[in-house]
Amino acid sequence: MTLDNVLARIDAEMPAATDRLLELLRIKSISTDPAFKAECDKAADWLVADLNSFGIAAEKRSTPGHPMVVGHVDGPEGADAPHVLFYGHYDVQPVDPLELWDNDPFAPAIEETANGPVIRGRGSSDDKGQLMTFVEACRAWKAEHGALPCKITFFFEGEEECGSPSLVPFMKENAAELTSDIALICDTGLFQSKTPAIITSLRGLLGEELTVKAANKDLHSGMFGGVSMNPIRVLSKALAGLHDETGRVTLPGFYDGVHELPAELAAQWKALNFDHKAFLGDVDLSEPAGEQGYTPLEMIWSRPTCEVNGILGGYTGEGFKTVLPAEASAKVSFRLVGDQDPLKIREAFRAYIESCLPVDCTVEFTGYGAAGGSNMSTDHPAFEQARLALSDEWPEAAAFAGCGGSIPISGHFKQIVGTNSMLIGFAKDDDQIHSPNEKYDVESFHKGIRSWARILEAMSRG
């Protein structure tokens, strides 16, 4: 099969591909707001019809929430190529605050900017534009050769932006149908907006809220100050003890399951020439504050963290009030890597806080999620095939990279259907996802389509 013909067709049909994306972007598929349920259904129907239009056997599947879209297509008869599954999500974030948008977020348009043309509109980058890069690559391949180069399953979700409540039950109920040799996910971006990246590690997330309580009511500090215990004092001392002077987390067993970065991957990351001073300078900071002995990129991608996300206690209004609060609260999150066990860390955190409590103080805990990190084995040949294919399309050579955030779907594929995920995306740092005036560069859309065509061709060669 000739790749050059597919790439030429992609180039020639970019206007039509862009029109299709604009049509999808006009659908107000805001998953978190029940007022837009019909719009989410409409987006699912649109995708089913679009896949059917070029020979993909796709259908809408109902869930207790918004529907899934599942489609299947076989590769050429007798082809010895891997079965791939492509995942994306068609739902989008709310548009508030609407007054900060320059134009209607659901009236997408091509806009000229100093850095080239962009597609402006809600969902353009997260994730409709990214989803459609793969669909358009498949459309061009099918039109050129009459068949796709390998067996492909399409799996589109409509609840990613509201926590995916229906995803795990659906995957468990349909595990056999969703099993493949490799799962492809297009919900990430270029490294520093220029280097194509294949994400091979994601940090997990553990959330904890705690409330330290002492007296049965707020107290007058003149009458009770000095003789009664202040929960803010107890809480702040406990939180301060979560890190030592080198930035390491002090909880017993916290680093169990944390692995050092392999030398080959460390060399790739070093070659990316990450400018941490510019990265921090953009938010008016200057020096890395994580664990000593690690590079800034390692701190973000491969090291675990413990961060206090919020503190509340006592009087916080205008003016001054001399009060000893009856309680004080904090929200603490942990980003986890490797094989760290979130439940053991939750247990260690709660035991530590309880050990910090003096007489007359109690504590209440609320847990928010407990997901471990994800690590994708690059031993699967598809990883190196994709890296070389991306390097052929973009000026910068592609790299295996980490991600400081969490993308739960990759873990679900591993845990539920036993499939490794390969995360490849073409978003740029300034796409303003989840924010007003979201955009997706026309270059990202165009080269993203070409990139997937190259990756499919490389994988089909085995």
pLDDT tens-place string over residues 332-373: 999 999 999 999 999 999 999 999 999 999 999 999 989 899
Residues 351 and 380 in one domain: no
Residues 347 and 410 in one domain: no
Residues 187 and 44 in one domain: yes
Q: Where are the alpha helices (DSSP H) in 202-341?
A: 221-224, 231-240, 263-271, 276-281, 296-301
Q: Which residue has the tokens 């209607």?
A: 104
**If 0-12 CB within 10 Å is exposed, 13-18 middle and 19+ buried, where does residue 258 land?**
middle
Residues 134 and 210 in one domain: no
Considering 343, 371, 399, which residue would you say is the last residue of a domain? 371
Q: Which residue has the tokens 């049965």?
A: 216
Domain extent, residue 318, equals 204-258+304-371
Q: Where are the alpha helices (DSSP H) in 66-191?
A: 128-145, 167-173
What residues in the chain have per-residue pLDDT under 50? Answer: none
Considering 371, 389, 414, which residue would you say is the last residue of a domain? 371
For 425-434, b where at least 16 C-beta lie within 10 A, e where not — what string?
Answer: bbbbeebbbe
Residue 266 amino acid letter: A
Task: Please report, for the domain that includes residue 193, its CATH number.
Answer: 3.40.630.10
Q: Is 263 part of any domain?
A: no
Number of structural domains (the chain) is 2
Q: Is 265 part of any domain?
A: no
Residues 451 and 344 in one domain: no
Residues 209 and 132 in one domain: no
Spell out the residues 6+ positions from residue 27 whose beta carbon is closer than 8 angstroms to its own: 39, 42, 43, 46, 106
Residues 174 and 209 in one domain: no
Residues 188 and 78 in one domain: yes
Distance CA 223, CA 356 (A): 25
Residues 77 and 165 in one domain: yes
Q: Is 278 part of any domain?
A: no
Task: Quickly count: other Cβ atoms within 10 Å of residue 368's Cβ.
Answer: 12
Q: Is 332 part of any domain?
A: yes
Q: Is 36 part of any domain?
A: yes
Q: Is 283 part of any domain?
A: no
Q: Which residue has the tokens 């659908």?
A: 27
Span 229-248, pLDDT tens digits: 999 999 999 999 999 999 99
Q: Which of 140, 343, 318, 308 is nearest to 238 (CA)?
A: 308
Residues 365 and 388 in one domain: no
Residues 22 and 50 in one domain: yes
Residue 341, Ramachandran bin (φ over 0: left; ψ between -120 and 50: alpha; else beta): beta
Distance CA 390, CA 422 (A): 13
Residues 212 and 189 in one domain: no
Give the pLDDT score at 408: 87
Q: Is 299 part of any domain?
A: no
Task: Please report, for the domain that includes residue 347, its CATH number.
Answer: 3.30.70.360
Give the pLDDT score at 1: 55
Give the pLDDT score at 376: 87
Give the pLDDT score at 388: 97
Q: Is 264 part of any domain?
A: no
Considering 340, 371, 402, which residue would you say is the last residue of a domain? 371
Secondary structure of residue 245 in the 3-state scheme: coil
